[in-house]
C-alpha cells in the first residue's frame, strides 16, 4: 500500500495487528518512519483515501537520539497559565521515558533531516516537562 502526501512524497504503508485494539500503521520513506500511535479498528486495506490521509496526519515520527526513542508529532496546545488558551498546534517531542518537550516553532518533521530534528529536540530541552 502507498500514500502520497501533499508535497508529492510517496510513503510505503505497512501495518501490524495490535492485540484486540486494532491495527497500527507505519509510513516509511527511506530512513524516515512515521507510526500511528492510536490503533485503527478498520483493517488498513479497507481505509478510504481520506481516512488514510487522517492517519498520516496524526502519525508521529520515530527519532532515536542517544539510545532513547522519541516520537515527534503535532498536538493542539493546551490552556496556558492564568486561564489563557494558546491557539494552534505545537510540535511535540515525547520520549518512551515520558519526557515531553515542545518546539517553539512548527516543524516540518516529516521531511526534515535526522540531524536537524535532533537539533530542534535539543533546543526544546528548555520546554520540557516530566509526566
Classify strands 32-35 and 89-95 as parallel, antiparallel or unpaired.
Answer: unpaired
- With pLDDT > 90 as the criterion, what percentage of the chain qualifies? 47
Summarised one tens digit per residue, pLDDT across range 89-106 is: 789 999 998 889 988 778
DSSP E strands in the chain: the ranges are 2-4, 10-18, 22-29, 32-35, 60-65, 68-76, 89-95, 99-102, 128-130
Give the pLDDT confidence score for residue 85 in this predicted structure.
46
Regarding pTM above 0.85, the answer is no
Classify strands 99-102 and 68-76 as parallel, antiparallel or unpaired.
Answer: unpaired
Give the pLDDT confidence score for residue 84 in this predicted structure.
47
pLDDT surpasses 90 at 7: no
Under the banding of pLDDT at 50, 70 and 90, the label for residue 15 is very high
Spatial separation of the C-alpha atoms in residues 67 and 81, rounded to whole Å: 34
Name the 3-class secondary structure at 89: strand
Summarised one tens digit per residue, pLDDT across range 36-66 is: 988 888 888 899 999 999 999 889 999 998 8
Sheet containing 10-18, strands listed edge to edge, beginning at the edge strand earlier in sequence: 2-4, 10-18, 22-29, 32-35, 60-65, 68-76, 89-95, 99-102, 128-130
Name the 3-class secondary structure at 67: coil
pLDDT surpasses 90 at 129: no
Residue 73 forms beta bridges with which residues? 92
126/92: higher pLDDT:
92
Amino acid at each position: 500500500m502507498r500514500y502520497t502526501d501533499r508535497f508529492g512524497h510517496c510513503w510505503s504503508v505497512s501495518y501490524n495487528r495490535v492485540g484486540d485494539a486494532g491495527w497500527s500503521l507505519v509510513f516509511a520513506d527511506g530512513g524516515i518512519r512515521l507510526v500511528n500511535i492510536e490503533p485503527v479498528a478498520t483493517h488498513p486495506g479497507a481505509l478510504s483515501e481520506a481516512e488514510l490521509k487522517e492517519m498520516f496526519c496524526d502519525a508521529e515520527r520515530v527519532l532515536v537520539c542517544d539510545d532513547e526513542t522519541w516520537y515527534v508529532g503535532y498536538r493542539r496546545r493546551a490552556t496556558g497559565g492564568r486561564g489563557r488558551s494558546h491557539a494552534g498546534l505545537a510540535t511535540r517531542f515525547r520520549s518512551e521515558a515520558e519526557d515531553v518537550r515542545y518546539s517553539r516553532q512548527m516543524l516540518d518533521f516529516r521531511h526534515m533531516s535526522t540531524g536537524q530534528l535532533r537539533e530542534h529536540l535539543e533546543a526544546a530541552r528548555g520546554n520540557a516537562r516530566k509526566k
